[in-house]
Amino acid sequence: MTTGVSRLGRSIGALFAGFVVVVVLSIGSDIILHKTGVYPAQGQVMSNPLFALAAVYRSLYGVVGGYVTARFAPHGPMMHAMIGGVLGFFLSIVGAVTTWSRSAEFGPHWYPVTLVVLALPCAWLGGMLYERRARRGPRAQPEVTNSL
């Protein structure tokens, strides 16, 4: 039987795992895209299509983060995914507010707004994908036959 403290710890761990996945994938993608020349050098202005690319992969990573959070949740996987989404929503708002007046450095206003708007739907989708997979149960293993 798990205690309330251990369940709380596992809940925090699930949320932290989802958060780390999103951050590591996002920063890693940024670094790779800068190093390969897809993105301009640090400090140079990016075009709208490149910000759209960033919004797309960050949204996909939000789905993955929701899935990971749901996967490691000790109970209520969708609830945990949505709590992660709420945290992402508020962090996106903080990012939008702190960069709003510096759009030359941090991109057009639509970019942080997009991240704010998509935070909850992406977390929900990640949680839903996990729940659907969990309902199907473990995949059936192919039967191995010995024809000797």
Residue 61 near residue 21, CB atoms below 8 Å? yes
Given a contact cutoff of 8 angstroms between Cβ atoms, the answer to whether 74 and 18 are in contact is no
- Amino acid of residue 59: S
* Number of C-beta neighbours around residue 35 at 10 A: 9
* DSSP label at residue 147: -
pLDDT in tens, the chain (148 residues): 557 778 899 999 999 999 999 999 999 999 999 999 999 988 888 999 999 999 999 999 999 999 999 999 999 999 999 999 999 999 999 999 999 998 878 889 999 999 999 999 999 999 999 999 998 876 655 565 655 5
Cα–Cα distance, 58 to 115 (Å, whole number): 8
**Which one, of 101, 112, 94, lies nearest residue 51 by Cα?**
112
Q: What is the pLDDT of residue 44?
A: 87
Residue 22's pLDDT is what?
98
Strand residue runs (E) in 20-147? none
Q: What is residue 136's predicted lDDT score, i.e. its pLDDT?
A: 87
Give pTM, 2 decimals: 0.87
Six token digits for residue 102: 């510096």
